[in-house]
Structure 1
């Protein structure tokens, strides 16, 4: 009888914790914890979304659905965000190129040092 009480308490506690987790889980952003290296892809999708929004904004302005002042303000805001993303992409690409270039230079230096060492050994 005592064993059944302990088992039922454990089962009740697990059930309560499961319910609590299911109730509270929508309030947490799990993708921020799970997304480790998706920043580059996130930038691309954000840029595409902003460019699409700019096209829709221009279409709505041409259809006289928004005022000229709103159009100018929103267009400037979205263009600034796209420019920032493009600059960040450019810096990322430049750093990759710099790293590749440095690796190539280091390989050439190693080859030259090895070649110089062999020539110096032959001269003695």
Structure 2
């Protein structure tokens, strides 16, 4: 009878430790593959609002609420602003990534784009 209580205590303690581990694991930061830190959060919100505006602009153009010339002018203006913000973000951002992995990802993207262009050309 004494052996059963020791085994049950050990089993209960192990079960409690496993539960504790599973509950606390999400609160710890693991080393990510990419670390991305923007020093100016205003840039992110501004970029998001500009991209939203671009989507709304395209929707209004498709609904014939904006003339084609106005659409082209506004689209070019917003795209230029987004590009400037992205350049500024790139300068302010600290990115640490595995260079070999990034090169492999870029190579795979280029291969997929070539396949897509090839398939698109065959479909015509």
TM range (shorter): 0.3 to 0.5
Greater strand fraction, Structure 1 or Structure 2: 2
Greater helix fraction, Structure 1 or Structure 2: 1
Using CA pairs below 8 Å that are at least 6 residues apart, which structure has the higher relative contact order? 2
Q: Which has the larger radius of gyration?
A: 1
Relative to the length of structure 1, the TM-score reads: 0.44
Relative to the length of structure 2, the TM-score reads: 0.44
